[in-house]
Amino acid sequence: MTLLAATYLSSYTLSALGNSIAAIVLPLLVLQSTGSALAAGTVAAATIVPAVFAGIFMGVVIDRINRRTSSVLTDLVSALAMGALPLVDMITGLSVGWFVLFGIIGAIGDVPGITAREALLPAVIRHGGVSAERITGAREALGAVAVLVGPAAAAFMLTAWGGATALWVTAGTSLAAALLTMLIPHHVGTLEETTAVNAASGQRVWGQLREGWTEMIHNKFVLVTTILTTSAVIAIGGLQGMILPFYFTEINRPGLLGLVISAIAAGSLVGGGVYAVAGTRGSRRGWFVTGSLGSVLGLAIVASLVSVWTLFLGAFVLGFSVGLFGALVGVLSIERIPEDKRGRVLGTQNTFVTAASPLGIFLAGVMTELLGLHTALVMLAAMWSLGLFVALGARSMRNLERPGSAQDQVREVNGARDA
């Protein structure tokens, strides 16, 4: 792998690790500082709306400026938000207001940061001489590593060093991600000529946002993958955030929750790694079908709740399949989202994903309360499975090969014979 690709992936991993640590550290610090679960919920809720607006509107900015620069700036915003909290704690002490303020600032950097880094990826592939399959598979695998390492690192730091040190480390990961991205040559993030012309045309923000939404609606591939990704996060968010905690509490074995979540992450690590190595072989439709049916199988195994060991198996199969699926969708998005609209489309997709996880937890909570744990889990699995089977039959997901590829040429020849 080239130095450019390795630098990009290292920056991505550090940023994902910082987010993974922060997801554990911040709620616990709010609870320690205020002693109120309501305060922790208030901080979490207060960051959702800014994250949604930032994700949507910052997509326009990402489509106007150098994408390397936008990636650096968003990581610096995240570092500032995390680093400011221990400083305030030393000076005045932390209250709910401070957590809300810097939580909002951090949210402004998080979703746009993900979008900026994804928008930069096609240029890294072009300039770095690496295949899209290899780098997206590696990205999925490294993201899974961050999910595995982050919570354990957060627990260790909170126990051994305290909350302030954990916040400094979290800020440091975002700062290091920004510094690594700065090592990427500036010209790599330069907008293509058509994108630059559109950005300089003076078109108003609302007009550009409308263009992005129009692309999402009329580009059937983008529409289907947006629905699929959002529904997947709703199902997995409800599973991780409500169903599994409730189940392990019910059987009085709460300590196993982390192991099941780790099994999902480990599966994603293996799935992403497999696609990085073998993704260029075989048909993309075959990879898509494998990932889709595998995720349905994984959810079905989990939904059975036969035993703890069955849960581990189902969690690993689910993670493996999602790792394959996520890497493939990443490759297809690079090819099928227009360069001049990439920031707006990805920004909107990432906004939906950000809102989908708490929505999944809420829906799972309502269904568990009204229908019971097993029924709620089966309904979540059924919703995700229905979406996948619809996608399998969607016309936009039938021919997934790169234009001009060997598989595509064979399909054209066969089509000509049939005609």
What CATH number corresponds to the domain at position 221? 1.20.1250.20
Which amino acid, 156? F
Amino acid at 33: S
Which domain does 270 fall in, by range? 205-401
CA distance 23 to 150: 9
Looking at the fold, whether 143 and 241 belong to one and the same domain comes out as: no
36 with 184, same domain?
yes
SS3 306: coil
Q: Tokens representing 169?
A: 């480390």
Tell me which DSSP letter residue 282 carries. S
Do residues 153 and 286 share a domain? no
Residue 217 lies in a domain: yes
Clarify whether residues 111 and 222 are in a common domain: no
**Nearest to residue 411, comparing CAs of 2, 374, 370, 401?**
401
- For residue 415, tell me if it sits in a domain: no
Measured distance CA(191)–CA(369) in Å, rounded: 50
295 and 380 in a single domain? The answer is yes
Task: Report if residue 416 sits inside a domain.
Answer: no
Cα 397 from chain centroid (whole Å) = 21
Q: Give me the number of domains the chain comprises.
A: 2
Indicate whether 410 belongs to any domain.
no
The angle, 0 to 180 degrees and rounded to 10, between the axes of the packed helices 37-62 and 67-91 is 150
Distance CA 362, CA 153 (A): 28
Domain boundary residue among 195, 220, 244? 195
Does residue 408 form part of some domain? no
| pLDDT score recorded for residue 228 | 84
Q: Which amino acid is at 346?
A: L
Tokens of 399: 């021919």
CB burial class (10 A; 0-12, 13-18, 19+) of residue 186?
A: exposed
Residue 303 lies in a domain: yes
Same structural domain, 164 and 289: no
Same domain, 96 and 64: yes
Helices 96-128 and 308-336, interaxial angle, to 10°? 60
For the entire predicted model, the pTM comes to 0.82
Quick check: 141 and 14 in contact, CB under 8 A? no
**8-state DSSP, 40:** H
Give the Cα separation of 209 and 204 in Å (integer). Answer: 9
Each residue's pLDDT, cut to its tens digit, for the chain (419 residues) gives 688 999 999 999 999 888 888 877 887 788 777 777 667 667 777 777 787 787 778 778 888 888 899 999 999 999 999 999 989 988 888 788 888 888 888 877 877 888 888 888 888 988 888 888 899 999 889 988 888 888 888 878 888 887 778 889 989 999 999 999 999 999 888 876 545 445 444 456 666 677 767 777 778 888 888 888 888 888 888 887 778 878 887 888 766 777 888 888 899 999 999 999 898 888 888 898 898 889 889 988 888 888 888 888 999 999 999 898 889 888 888 888 888 788 888 888 888 887 787 788 888 888 888 888 888 888 888 888 887 888 888 888 888 887 654 444 444 334 444 44
Could you please report the per-residue DSSP string of 208-277?
HHHHHHHHHHH-HHHHHHHHHHHHHHHHHHHIIIIIHHHHHHHTT-GGGHHHHHHHHHHHHHHHHHHHHH
Whether residue 157 is found in the same domain as residue 178: yes
Q: How far is CA 319 from CA 193, 244, 266, in A?
A: 39, 15, 7
Nearest 5°: phi and psi at 63?
A: -80, 0
Q: Which of 143, 164, 195 is the last residue of a domain?
A: 195
C-alpha span between 116 and 183 (Å, rounded): 16
294 found inside a domain: yes
Residue 325, domain member (yes or no): yes
Same domain, 278 and 163: no
Do 123 and 5 lie in a common domain?
yes
Q: Do 158 and 301 lie in a common domain?
A: no
Task: Choose one of 195, 230, 255: the last residue of a domain.
Answer: 195
295/168 Cα distance (integer angstroms): 37
Are 251 and 133 found together in one domain?
no
